[in-house]
Amino acid sequence: MAALAASERWLFAARFEKATAALELAPAAEGEALPAAVRVALAAQRAEVELVAGTVRRRFDSYAATLEALRELGPEAEALPEQAVRARFLAALAAAELHAGELDGAAEHAAAAAELRGLLDDAAGRAEAVALALHVAHLKLLRESGERARRTELLGRYEAAIRDAEAVGARRALAVDLHHLGRLLAETFADPVGAIPLYRRAAALREELGDRPGLAPVYHALGDLHAELGETATAAHWFRVAFVSADEIGYVRFRVNPRLRLAELLRARGEADAARGWLAEARRIAAADGWQAGEEEAARRLAALD
């Protein structure tokens, strides 16, 4: 359906109102009595828009409503003969459960989506569902402080998923897998040198795809990694790239945090006045966006400079 494709284009451009409007136009175009498969597909895409918009705008309380709406459609989706729509619905349900912190349900539904995509010979769709399942497994590992054997197994699964995504040209899945493998290496294996090229590849893919909500987190991670290695000029570059990218789409967290990190680098170099300017700007942005914790953190750092 054209509405789904249009909504996805606007979603990647972080134009969430337009993404939602594209979905709302579909019933008018189709008439009021939409087929069940169309209703379910539209609901799955609406959920994806809502989840990304909620993350970018720090509207985390919206996750529960998105998940509830999908669960209400669950019996109808399960009864559909159209397996491709069922797979899309299961992936959306898994993503909503992940955002709501219900990782067991997310793992089950992501695996089911991957299995259905495999049966349909949808290699790219399967790769995206596998990427989602790996992200869930990664978060569960972090939550449970998993032993090294489990961490090593997850690393191997990421590497296999990357090879599979590369083989079928699944760029979206590849970008996700590279991003999260980079995170695993950096945070779990303390290997920033190994993580940097993975993040660089993830950034290049997201740039190529036009995935604007996915860019700022990758840029910020690159800044953190170079800072950890003592490469302050390169780190400062990536923090600037991160907040410029975030400013363009109103991504609250990454408008503020890279400015805080840039100020930290400047303070360490003895450039207190420059650091103070970035902290004041971070505080102003956090206040304007209603992010109290970000505003308080910037204020605390400002006070420590005085």
Is residue 146 very low, low, confident or very high in pLDDT (cuts 50, 70, 90)? low
Q: End-to-end alpha-carbon separation of the chain, Å?
A: 58
Residue 264's nearest CA partner among 222, 302, 238 is 302
Token pair 């509830």 is found at 68
Helix spans in 31-170 (H): 36-56, 62-78, 83-99, 103-119, 123-144, 148-168
What percentage of the chain carries pLDDT values higher than 90? 90
Q: Rounded to an integer, what distance in angstroms lies between the CA atom of residue 222 and that of residue 245? A: 14
Q: Could you tell me the CA-to-CA distances from 294 to 53, 109, 291 in Å, in that order?
A: 19, 34, 5
Condensed to tens digits (0 to 9), the pLDDT of residues 9-52 reads 999 999 999 999 999 887 655 445 678 999 999 999 999 999 99
- Which class in CATH covers the domain with range 1-121? mainly alpha
Q: Is 260 or 141 the better-scoring residue by pLDDT?
A: 260
Q: What confidence score (pLDDT) does residue 142 get? A: 86
Q: 105-144 burial, b for 16+ CB within 10 Å, e for fewer? A: bbbbbbbbbbebbeeeebbbbbbbbbbbbbbbbbbbbeee
pLDDT at 145 over 90: no
The pLDDT tens digits for 292-305 are 999 999 999 999 98
Residue 277 has pLDDT above 50, yes or no: yes
What mean pLDDT comes out for the span 213-223? 98
Residue type, 83: Q
Helices (H), 229-271: 232-249, 252-268
Query: What is the gyration radius of the CA atoms in the chain, in angstroms?
Result: 20
Mean pLDDT of the chain: 94
CA distances from 231 to 192, 222, 223, 272, 279 (A): 12, 11, 9, 19, 21
Of the listed ranges 105-109, 140-144, 173-177, 220-224, the one predicted with least confidence: 140-144
pLDDT computed for residue 155 by the predictor = 95
Q: What is the pLDDT of residue 31?
A: 46
Instruction: Compute the distance between CA of residue 250 and CA of residue 198 in angstroms, rounded to an integer.
Output: 26
CA separation for the pair 79, 182 (Å, rounded): 39
Q: How far apart are CA 173 and CA 176, in angstroms?
A: 5
